Structures are given as structure tokens and as C-alpha cells.
Amino acid sequence: PSNDLKRDAETELDASLGLASMQGWEVTAWCQNCTDERYVVQHFNSPLQGTDRNAYVSAPLTFGVTFRGEF
């Protein structure tokens, strides 16, 4: 099938901020796609459905906290 759709460049903001101790532990807060921008990451034609087109979209805003330690 023809895959001739074009898309513009996208910018995605990711961030992390962490704190570590001399005792061997670390805590980090992180965020991926912090601005929750939604855009097409891949598009494709559907087989046997004429000019129907489908797409996968970007991952949504994701955030969390990570704890690490040595023992």
C-alpha cells in the first residue's frame, strides 16, 4: 500500500530531578512528555479498505518517582 502521508517535526519535553545520599540511597522524580503533546508517530493504510488510513499516537504524559538503594 501507498504510505505517502507526511508529518511535521515534534518536540517532546522530558525531565528528571534526583537526590542522592552518601549512605547509598537515591530518589528521583521524573516526567516523560511533560506537556502532554499528542501527535502521530506512525501512520499506515488499512488493508482492503480503500483509502482508509490509521495511525499510532504518541505516549501520554507519564510521571513517577524512583527509589534506589545499595545494601
pLDDT digits (tens, 9 = 90+) for 7-54: 788 899 999 999 999 999 999 999 999 999 998 888 877 777 767 778
Q: How far apart are CA 43 and CA 19, in angstroms?
A: 40
Q: How many CB atoms lie within 10 A of CB 29?
A: 13
Predicted local confidence at residue 1, as pLDDT:
47
